[in-house]
Amino acid sequence: MAPRCDRVTFLAESELTTDHDSSLDCKKVVWDSWRRHADSTPEREAIVHLSTDAEPFRWHWGSLMRAASRAAAWLAEHGVQKGDVCALIVRHNPHFYPLYLGVSSLGALPAVLAYPNARLHPDKFRQGLEGMSRRSGLDQILTERALEPMVTPLVAGEGSTIRNILYPLEVLSLPGSSDHAIAEHAPVSPDEPCLLQHSSGTTGLQKPVVLSHRAVLEHVQRYAEAIGLNAKDRIVSWLPLYHDMGLIAAFYLPLVSGVPLVQLSPMEWVSAPILLLEAISRERATLCWLPNFAYRFMADRIRDEDIDGLRLDSLRLVVNCSEPVRAESHDGFHKRFARYGIKRESFGACYAMAETTFAATQTPPGKEARRLLLDRAALSRGEVRVLPANEFAGGRWCVSSGQPVPGCALRIVDEQRKDFPPNRVGEIAISSVSLFDGYRNYPEKTAEVLADGWYFSGDYGFIHDGDCYVVGRKKDLIIVAGNNVFPEDVEDAVGAVPGVIAGRVVAFGVDDERLETEVLCVIAETDTQTDSEVKTLRLAILQAGMAIDATISRVYLVPPRWLIKSSSGKPARSTNRDRALAELRWS
Amino acid sequence: MISNQLRKVILSQLGLDDWDIRDSTNAGQIPGWDSLSHAMIIAAVEDEFGVRFTTREVLQLANVGQLQELLNRKTG
């Protein structure tokens, strides 16, 4: 029997089988799967790149791999070598994909980073890259000419590991011959690094995760099994690729398995959310991953008059991931778009993180994610007490994130990392065949979260009837519309604003019912008293947030010594958050 | 030239008392105007002026001056 890896990478017209009896072929790297698609199905669609200013750009496996070879040859000529960490910082561009594949084929490690938007201060962007260079040993920056003034100083920067700044798309987006002969791709073993992704944030506090070819292939194969991936599937996505959900679920999964990917621009989608539904309708997409806020966002922002001949009946699974899953988000989206054919059983969910490559749990395809109405008071004591669905008062709906994907196991543990029984809320710990080996060059952070093959996630949840429910985070991380925001970053930025007492700032997230995501709030101590000074200070705080690309939604200005300190002498986030919400009005 | 009426709608959507908004000002230069609030602001402008923008029109806007021009064409 052929190894299972072949079944995924060779995805033909027949459906994938789901036998479990053979292990992954240990001689494979991701490049092998791409090569095989190009050899066996060169005319099959690989990636459909959508953009509102041009016709869809359709890569087929043959043309994609020829372009990738050309990119690899160009990169090699310009000094990119096996093992180099290559930051890719480019906007939505159809020639990004072969560039990415080209980097990978040289045995270098692609790391997709967010292209800086107008809000982000150039110095902050540069500091982020410097931090990444120190942490990850960044070797090459592959970007656009527009960023040249911002990135050029980095090469000469003290302690910089960056050897080169290249502008590959200027050449690779031109029609050119594919005569650049390229030697066989660099010999790479499955246990060597495949890519670098960041567990959260893009600032100096980012935590780089390096994944091996084996981890990526193992994960993609097993996750494909969990969602019943088959040859009729088409994946549609607007997700950015600097986030694990976009990179693994909506890039590696389709490319390794040979399922076509339809990719939209994140910026265009957020300006015109109808674009995603139009893409689903036109391209007959079957699978989609979305952070929770996107359900409400689309239900609210898409108007009937923009909808023309929409058909969503092809969607068999929409996976809610990367923010806490809310029952009302699913209900609102279904109510709004049911008339266009989306089915209740298509609403799934998963629990995922970069440290386990992607998914730890997934709801079964063809079934709506289960939900429980829980006694809120019991839940706050860490106990799971299920209420009848009609006893909503005092209840909180929790949506299941499903069961562990194959190759993955979950535990719920107490403060001492001892196991809790089912129906007790504790920290979620995960072991997985595709677990990361640790944060790159960050042993102290690694030691905090990784022990005996288990990753301690910092998330709170419980197991009920075999399903995992995630109810909150132990960490102070704030998730605004799927984006992770470190409170430390915001506190540093706001603490530097003249008029704010240095070190006397707390940032935290609060659920926003209207947006169905968290919004960013700041408490800052100040001596300022007059109305006009307070107004000016408030604006300066908002601008300080803008400079690090964080939208501060609420500012609480408080007098000196208002903030409560923790034993470490720093203001305690959760205590002050609760006090502010109870006592203060924000402005 | 940005009209007072447009300026007021934008500021009120963002909860700002005041902000210098010129033709060349883009969303990234106004506190709170991020990708998520963009659609909300556009909807508020449409309601205030009784107009409708198409997806393509919204995507092509590069700064507030262009939003004002588009409004002038629709209301003119």
Question: What pLDDT digit, counting tens, does each position of A173-228 carry?
Answer: 887 655 555 555 678 999 999 999 887 644 545 688 999 999 999 999 999 999 99
Report the number of distinct structural domains present in chain A.
Answer: 3
Of A118, A297, A535, the CB nearest to B28: A118
Cα–Cα distance between A107 and A86 in angstroms, integer?
Answer: 11
Compute the nearest-CA separation of A283 from chain B (Å): 19
pTM of the model: 0.86
Shortest Cα–Cα distance, A537 to chain B (Å) = 12
> Any CB–CB contact under 8 A between B35 and chain A?
yes
Closest-CA residue of chain A to B19: A539
Residues 6 or more apart whose CB falls under 8 angstroms from that of B18 comprise A535, B11
Q: Can you tell me the distance from the alpha carbon of A375 to that of A385, in angstroms, rounded to the nearest whole number?
A: 6
Torsion of CA A452, A320, A291, A379, to 10 degrees: -70
* A386 contact B CB<8A: no
pLDDT band at A26 (very low <50, low <70, confident <90, very high): very low
Least CB-CB distance to B31: which of A117, A271, A539?
A: A539
A495 and A574 share one domain:
yes
Tens digits of per-residue pLDDT, B16-60? 888 899 999 988 888 888 887 888 899 899 999 999 898 888 888
Assigned token pair, A566:
């923790």
Instruction: Give B-chain residues touching A553 at CB under 8 angstroms.
Output: 32
Question: Last residue of a domain, which of A439, A460, A475?
Answer: A475
| Chain B residue with Cα closest to A278 | B55
Contacts of A419 (CB under 8 A, 6+ apart): A411, A412, A413
Q: Is the dihedral of CA A94, A242, A162, A118 positive or negative?
A: positive
Q: How far apart are CA A215 and CA A446, in angstroms?
A: 18
Residue range A505-553, pLDDT digits in tens: 999 999 888 888 899 999 999 998 888 999 999 999 999 998 888 899 9
The enclosing domain of A134 has a CATH number of 3.40.50.12780
Q: Is A122 on the interface with B (CB under 8 A)?
A: no
Handedness of CA A215, A216, A218, A223 (dihedral sign): positive
A492 and A578 assigned to the same domain: yes
| Among A528, A512, A522, A525, residue whose Cα is nearest residue A544 | A522
Contacts for A412 with CB less than 8 Å, ≥ 6 apart: A419, A420, A422, A424, A425, A426, A427, A428, A429, A461, A462, A463
Rounded Cα distance between B76 and B70, Å, is: 10
Q: How far apart are alpha carbons A324 and A315 in whole angstroms?
A: 22
Would you call B19 and A539 a contact, using CB atoms and an 8 Å cutoff?
yes
pLDDT at A158: 75
State the residue range of the domain holding A573: 477-583
Q: Look up the CATH number of the domain holding residue A427.
A: 2.30.38.10
Domain boundary among the residues A214, A237, A271 is at A271
How many whole angstroms separate alpha carbon A583 and alpha carbon A286? 48
Q: Which of A267, A301, A516 to mutate to test the interface with B (most CBs of B within 10 A)?
A: A301
Query: Has residue A300 got a pLDDT over 60?
Result: yes
More confident residue, A314 or A115: A314
A545 CB neighbours in chain B (<8 A) are 31
CA dihedral angle for residue A103, residue A105, residue A110, residue A115, rounded to 10 degrees: 40
Residues of chain B in contact with residue A493, where contact means CB-CB under 8 angstroms, are none
Whole-angstrom distance, CA of residue A199 vs CA of residue A144 = 25
Domain stop point among A475, A509, A539: A475
Asked whether residue A35 is domain-assigned, the answer is yes
Q: How far is B33 from chain A (nearest CA, A)?
A: 8
A432 & A487 share domain: no
Residues 269-298 of A with CB under 8 A from B: 270-275, 293, 297
Same domain, A446 and A522: no
Tokens of A402: 């499903």
Residue A309 lies in a domain: no
Task: Decide if A271 and B59 are in contact by the 8 Å CB cutoff.
Answer: yes
Asked whether residue A513 falls in the same domain as residue A578, the answer is yes
Q: Are A111 and A88 in contact (CB under 8 A)?
A: yes
In the numeric block, which tokens belong to residue A409? 């196991």
**Whether residue A421 is found in the same domain as residue A512:** no
How far apart, in Å, are the Cα atoms of A114 and each of A95, A141, A285?
Answer: 17, 13, 26
Query: Are B56 and A301 a contacting pair at CB < 8 A?
Result: no
Instruction: Dig out the tokens for A324 from the structure.
Output: 């806490």
A442 and A519 in a common domain: no
- The whole-number pLDDT of residue A184 equals 58
Beta strand pairing call for A359-362 and A371-375: unpaired
Cβ-contact A24, A217 below 8 angstroms: yes
| B24 interfaces chain A, CB cutoff of 8 Å | no
pLDDT at A502: 83
Distances (CA, A) of A371 to A212, A315, A401, A463: 35, 21, 9, 12
Asked whether the beta carbons of A548 and A490 are under 8 A apart, the reply is yes
Answer whether residue A68 is part of any domain: yes
pLDDT value of residue A247: 96
Q: What is the ipTM of this complex?
A: 0.75
Closest-approach residue (CA) in chain B for A53: B56
DSSP A376-398: HHHHHTTB--BPPTT--TTEEEE
Asked whether residue A256 falls in the same domain as residue A385, the answer is no
Residues A505 and A470 in one domain: no
Hey, which bits of A98-175 come out as E strands? 109-112, 138-143, 164-166
Work out the pLDDT band at A101, boundaries 50, 70, 90. very high
Please indicate, yes or no, whether residues A548 and A572 belong to a single structural domain of this protein: yes
